Structure 1
Amino acid sequence: MEKKKIVVTNRVFPETRALLEAHAHVVVNEADEPWPAEILLEHCRDAFGLMAFMTDSIGADFIAACPALRIVGAALKGYDNIDVDACTRAGVTVTIVPDLLTVPTAELAIGLMLSLGRNILSGDAAIRKNGFAGWRPSLYGAGLDRATVGILGFGLVGQAIAERLQPFRCRLLASDAARRPETAFPHVTFMDMEDVIAEADWLVLALPLTTETQHLIGRAAIARMKPGARIVNPARGSLVDEVAIADALATGHIAGYAADVFECEDWARDGRPGDIDARLLADGARTVLTPHIGSAVIHVRRDIELSAARCIVDAIAGRSPAHAVNAPAGALLEVVDDVEPAPHKNVSGGR
């Protein structure tokens, strides 16, 4: 019997490729850059399975053009770059990786906070440019000890961030649409989102991107923040309005912005900007910007790929894949219920 075709849209670890090649004919993008949309579609027209990453936008037109497709194994937790409804109608199962990204993303969030508050990048740049002649009264910043930290979204990532902030003796506030039992998190005070925004010295975003959360942190939300507060975004670029952030930095209303994600990379969002606001790039003193490295830990990335690959292998074998987020007609699937729901309209790529 001829092996089924599986398309992998980005370069992967040898272990991942070996696992898939033991069960399928595998086509892998070995380049540093994503395939253009037309090249990806050409590879997928006769494919049984697709391993998708955050650089891919899998919409209804794409699904309709790939009639043999039966499994999209996303190497992602957030899957807002995939039209799950279209997949379901076409009989395509979508699987995700629900928890492997939690810890490294939370670790990076803490790193962004420390780098921004303590002027670590500015200090490094000063030494490299000017040399070091000894201590000077400069680069005074903000620590985390006993700071009020507001976390918007209290799923697995939000919880992991809160856990890692406890040793800093922070006052932890959170808004939580799922209304998790407060007794399970005695170190956290749950509030309405507006109150968290108003009281936080540090505002950390841990939300999925949906049509409801796009530009959640815009001019109105920023106006409610304390003067001198800082914003940290390890979640999705378009949760914030980057133009409004740059304006607030320029006026001094907020003291800093740190981000690992940006509006320009939210591939499936209509009208996304083509680049990061130039003022954010120029403001090295009050911004810390990293290139979406929240899950960029070697063993984590390998495990993410292998998890997605195992789901694809299960589908090839006729088994119900783990971590499915939909249940197409005729498929006996265990649908994941401990992840953020897909939005009704896809607006961004997932981590």
Structure 2
Amino acid sequence: MTQAHRILVTQPIHAEVHARLARLGEVDVYPGPGALTRDELAARLRHATALMGFMTDRVDDALLAEAPHLRVVSAALKGYDSYDAAACARRGIHFASVPDLLTAPTAELGIGLAIALGRHVLAGDARVREGRFAGWRPQFYGRGLAGSQVAVIGLGNLGRALCERLRPFGCQLVGVDPVAPPTSGVVRVGLDAALASADFVLIAAPLTPDTIGLIGAAQIAASRPGTLWVNVGRGSVVDEAAMLAGLERGHVGGYAADVFAFEDWSLADRPREIAPALRQCPRTVFTPHLGSAVREVRLAIEHAAAEAIERVLVPG
């Protein structure tokens, strides 16, 4: 097989996936830490035939113009708003993403975050580790999922997976999504109605022009006092400053998130960090984008991205 291809991979990958790509040609893997800058990415793409990219990358038309040999962009992720798929199509570059493999592990994490937030798991853990636990006491009373009203914002693959996992808890499920098909066991309502009655709000919406800042100051103010919010969709769906303000005045019961606005590379005005005051707020539970961080899942995602490259580069 020809060794003429040059494949750029922008994050470290499993050895077996590297070996699979090496059968197609030279593999240029950026070892990290961190992410390639825009200029570094452009320089490495100049002679590349294929790109396996990750959430840390932004691929737009201007970048593609500097990659004259590029034939395929394979994004090892689900939400590809930071990849200009239309620009790829205009330039005759095949674009692929991995939409389904991330759904189940992300939904699992969403349920875990909801339980951790509602049951004060972090505060209880700290009490034990600090040596201040002297046996059972009437403390850390929180809210469980059983019997709670839960609003799921976004009823795509992730939202439906969350609903499936919430049903055994005996939750009353309401869903908000203007375009998704009906979901069994979920009452469809408008956003205002969902927020007015929910004990938990689980956000599973993708990042689109219509969902940026969907949950802002007005929506938070309209929610039931003490509502517990969980975001496993995209960071910029939530106005983090407004959420912090709601926490500080005591209206928001708690906020858990696996995704943050600073990660949304497609938005030029995105913040460059999580606000320190939000990080330090005690009524929060945060994880560093662990939605798909299951070994078997990440390996499967890399293999799916490699397969998309093979389909383009291997003749016949």
Q: TM-score by structure 1 length?
A: 0.87
Q: Is the 8 A contact 1:201 1:226 kept in 2?
A: yes
Q: Which residue of 1 aligns with 2:306?
A: 309
Counterpart-to-counterpart distance in 1, 2:117 and 2:303: 34
Shift, 1:318, TM fit: 4.2
| 2:312 aligned counterpart, secondary structure | helix
Q: Which residue of 2 aligns with 1:258?
A: 256
Q: Which residue of 1 aligns with 2:186?
A: 188
Shift, 1:198, TM fit: 2.1
| 1:18 aligned counterpart, secondary structure | helix
Shift, 1:2, TM fit: 4.2
Counterpart-to-counterpart distance in 2, 1:181 and 1:41: 43
Counterpart-to-counterpart distance in 1, 2:3 and 2:182: 52
Q: Which residue of 1 aligns with 2:123?
A: 122
Q: Which residue of 1 aligns with 2:30?
A: 29
Counterpart-to-counterpart distance in 2, 1:300 and 1:193: 32
**What amino acid sits opposite 1:166 in the alignment?**
R
Question: How many residues matched?
Answer: 315
| 2:47 aligned counterpart, secondary structure | coil
**What amino acid sits opposite 1:302 in the alignment?**
L
Shift, 1:247, TM fit: 0.3
Relative distance call for 1:302 and 1:179 in structure 2 (3 A) is: closer
Q: Which residue of 2 aligns with 1:240?
A: 238
Shift, 1:242, TM fit: 0.6
Matched, 1:93 2:75: no
Counterpart-to-counterpart distance in 2, 1:149 and 1:188: 10
Comparing 205-214 with 126-135, greater Cα deviation is found at 126-135
**What amino acid sits opposite 1:70 in the alignment?**
R
**What amino acid sits opposite 1:258 in the alignment?**
A
Q: Is the 8 A contact 2:150 2:202 kept in 1?
A: yes
Q: Which residue of 2 aligns with 1:211?
A: 209
| 1:27 aligned counterpart, secondary structure | strand
Q: Is the 8 A contact 2:156 2:180 kept in 1?
A: no
Counterpart-to-counterpart distance in 1, 2:57 and 2:121: 34
Q: Which residue of 2 aligns with 1:170?
A: 171
Counterpart-to-counterpart distance in 1, 2:180 and 2:104: 22
Q: Which residue of 2 aligns with 1:231?
A: 229
Q: Is the 8 A contact 2:3 2:24 kept in 1?
A: no
Q: Is the 8 A contact 2:231 2:257 kept in 1?
A: yes
Q: Which residue of 2 aligns with 1:341?
A: none
**What amino acid sits opposite 2:290 in the alignment?**
I
Structure 1 unmatched ranges of 5 or more? 320-351
Q: Map of 1:23-172 to 2, 5 A cutoff?
A: 23-172=24-173
Counterpart-to-counterpart distance in 1, 2:294 and 2:33: 18
Shift, 1:86, TM fit: 1.4
Q: TM-score by structure 2 length?
A: 0.97
* Deviations 1:51-98, CA, capped at 9 Å, x for gaps: 010000111110111111111101011100101121111111110112
Shift, 1:40, TM fit: 1.4
Counterpart-to-counterpart distance in 2, 1:17 and 1:165: 38
* Deviations 1:145-201, CA, capped at 9 Å, x for gaps: 11000001111111110010111100000012324135xx0x211112222222211
Counterpart-to-counterpart distance in 1, 2:162 and 2:85: 28
Q: Is the 8 A contact 1:11 1:32 kept in 2?
A: no
Shift, 1:31, TM fit: 2.2
| 2:130 aligned counterpart, secondary structure | helix
Relative distance call for 1:38 and 1:18 in structure 2 (3 A) is: same
Q: Which residue of 2 aligns with 1:220?
A: 218
RMSD: 1.2
Q: Is the 8 A contact 1:146 1:168 kept in 2?
A: yes
Shift, 1:114, TM fit: 0.4
Matched, 1:5 2:6: yes
Matched, 1:290 2:287: yes
Q: Which residue of 1 aligns with 2:279?
A: 281
Q: Is the 8 A contact 2:201 2:228 kept in 1?
A: yes
